Amino acid sequence: MVRGGVQCYHFVSVDQVTERAAGQIRLRVGRTESVPSLLTSGQIGYSVNEPFRGRHFAERDCRLLAPLARAHRILPETITRDPKNIPSRRTCERLGAKLVGIFDVPPDHAMYRDGRRRCYRFAWSPE
Protein backbone atom coordinates (compact mmCIF):
# COMPACT_ATOMS: atom_id res chain seq x y z
CA MET A 1 0.00 0.00 0.00
CA VAL A 2 1.18 3.54 -0.65
CA ARG A 3 -0.11 6.23 1.70
CA GLY A 4 0.89 9.82 1.06
CA GLY A 5 3.58 8.65 -1.32
CA VAL A 6 5.17 6.37 1.30
CA GLN A 7 5.15 2.58 1.07
CA CYS A 8 3.52 0.95 4.05
CA TYR A 9 1.87 -2.21 5.25
CA HIS A 10 -1.65 -1.89 6.61
CA PHE A 11 -3.26 -4.57 8.78
CA VAL A 12 -6.63 -4.89 10.46
CA SER A 13 -6.63 -6.27 13.98
CA VAL A 14 -9.46 -8.73 14.58
CA ASP A 15 -10.93 -9.78 17.92
CA GLN A 16 -10.84 -13.59 17.97
CA VAL A 17 -13.98 -13.90 20.08
CA THR A 18 -16.31 -11.61 18.14
CA GLU A 19 -14.45 -11.76 14.80
CA ARG A 20 -14.97 -7.98 14.55
CA ALA A 21 -12.35 -5.47 13.52
CA ALA A 22 -10.74 -4.22 16.72
CA GLY A 23 -8.50 -1.64 15.07
CA GLN A 24 -5.73 -1.16 12.57
CA ILE A 25 -1.98 -0.78 12.41
CA ARG A 26 0.39 0.51 9.72
CA LEU A 27 4.11 0.08 9.28
CA ARG A 28 5.76 2.71 7.08
CA VAL A 29 8.75 1.17 5.31
CA GLY A 30 9.57 3.94 2.85
CA ARG A 31 10.81 7.49 3.12
CA THR A 32 9.92 10.40 0.91
CA GLU A 33 9.91 14.17 0.92
CA SER A 34 6.10 14.06 0.83
CA VAL A 35 6.13 13.27 4.55
CA PRO A 36 5.92 16.84 5.94
CA SER A 37 7.96 16.22 9.07
CA LEU A 38 9.88 13.14 10.04
CA LEU A 39 9.77 14.35 13.64
CA THR A 40 5.99 14.06 13.78
CA SER A 41 5.50 11.10 11.40
CA GLY A 42 6.22 7.72 12.94
CA GLN A 43 6.90 4.44 11.24
CA ILE A 44 4.13 2.76 13.22
CA GLY A 45 0.60 4.10 13.35
CA TYR A 46 -2.20 2.34 15.18
CA SER A 47 -5.74 2.89 16.30
CA VAL A 48 -8.12 0.78 18.34
CA ASN A 49 -11.88 0.95 17.93
CA GLU A 50 -13.77 2.17 21.01
CA PRO A 51 -15.34 -1.15 22.13
CA PHE A 52 -11.92 -2.84 22.14
CA ARG A 53 -9.84 -0.24 23.97
CA GLY A 54 -8.04 -1.22 27.14
CA ARG A 55 -7.35 -4.78 25.95
CA HIS A 56 -3.79 -4.14 24.65
CA PHE A 57 -4.54 -4.70 20.96
CA ALA A 58 -2.10 -1.94 19.93
CA GLU A 59 0.72 -3.42 22.02
CA ARG A 60 0.11 -6.89 20.59
CA ASP A 61 -0.04 -5.57 17.05
CA CYS A 62 3.23 -3.66 17.46
CA ARG A 63 4.94 -6.80 18.69
CA LEU A 64 3.56 -8.75 15.75
CA LEU A 65 5.04 -6.15 13.36
CA ALA A 66 8.55 -6.38 14.86
CA PRO A 67 9.80 -9.19 12.56
CA LEU A 68 8.54 -7.31 9.51
CA ALA A 69 10.33 -4.15 10.65
CA ARG A 70 13.53 -6.17 11.16
CA ALA A 71 13.22 -7.57 7.65
CA HIS A 72 13.07 -4.01 6.31
CA ARG A 73 15.99 -2.93 8.54
CA ILE A 74 14.07 -0.02 10.06
CA LEU A 75 14.85 -0.60 13.73
CA PRO A 76 14.52 1.22 16.00
CA GLU A 77 10.96 1.91 15.00
CA THR A 78 9.47 5.33 15.54
CA ILE A 79 6.08 5.84 17.15
CA THR A 80 4.59 9.30 17.49
CA ARG A 81 1.66 10.09 19.77
CA ASP A 82 -0.51 13.02 20.70
CA PRO A 83 0.47 14.07 24.27
CA LYS A 84 -3.23 14.03 25.22
CA ASN A 85 -3.56 10.35 24.27
CA ILE A 86 -2.59 8.79 27.62
CA PRO A 87 -3.58 5.19 26.72
CA SER A 88 -1.35 5.29 23.65
CA ARG A 89 1.54 6.60 25.73
CA ARG A 90 1.03 3.68 28.11
CA THR A 91 1.19 1.34 25.11
CA CYS A 92 4.59 2.79 24.22
CA GLU A 93 5.75 2.39 27.81
CA ARG A 94 4.59 -1.27 27.95
CA LEU A 95 6.51 -1.90 24.73
CA GLY A 96 9.64 -0.47 26.35
CA ALA A 97 9.81 2.39 23.85
CA LYS A 98 11.90 5.36 24.94
CA LEU A 99 10.65 8.93 24.76
CA VAL A 100 12.99 10.77 22.38
CA GLY A 101 11.34 14.16 22.66
CA ILE A 102 8.30 16.35 22.36
CA PHE A 103 8.00 18.28 19.10
CA ASP A 104 5.86 21.05 17.68
CA VAL A 105 3.68 19.97 14.77
CA PRO A 106 4.46 22.05 11.66
CA PRO A 107 1.53 24.19 10.41
CA ASP A 108 1.55 22.39 7.03
CA HIS A 109 1.12 18.94 8.63
CA ALA A 110 -2.27 17.14 8.59
CA MET A 111 -2.07 16.70 12.36
CA TYR A 112 -1.93 20.50 12.75
CA ARG A 113 -5.08 20.88 10.65
CA ASP A 114 -6.73 18.36 13.01
CA GLY A 115 -5.96 20.65 15.95
CA ARG A 116 -2.88 18.91 17.31
CA ARG A 117 0.06 21.17 18.08
CA ARG A 118 2.59 18.88 19.76
CA CYS A 119 3.57 15.22 19.55
CA TYR A 120 5.61 12.75 21.56
CA ARG A 121 8.21 10.81 19.59
CA PHE A 122 9.23 7.36 20.86
CA ALA A 123 11.97 5.02 19.65
CA TRP A 124 11.31 1.29 20.00
CA SER A 125 13.87 -1.46 19.49
CA PRO A 126 12.00 -4.75 19.97
CA GLU A 127 14.07 -7.75 20.98
Residue-wise pLDDT for 72-103, tens only, equals 888 788 888 888 899 999 999 999 999 999 98
Res 35: pLDDT = 46
Strands 44-48 and 118-124: unpaired
Domain ranges (residues) in the chain: 2-124
78 Cβ contact list (under 8 Å, min separation 6):
42, 43, 44, 121, 122, 123, 124
pLDDT reported for residue 15: 96
Tens digits of per-residue pLDDT, 35-67? Answer: 444 554 568 889 999 999 999 999 999 999 999
Q: Which CATH number fits domain 2-124: 3.40.630.30, 2.60.120.620, 2.60.120.680, 2.40.100.10?
A: 3.40.630.30
pLDDT at 2 over 80: no
Q: Would you give the DSSP letter of residue 75?
A: P
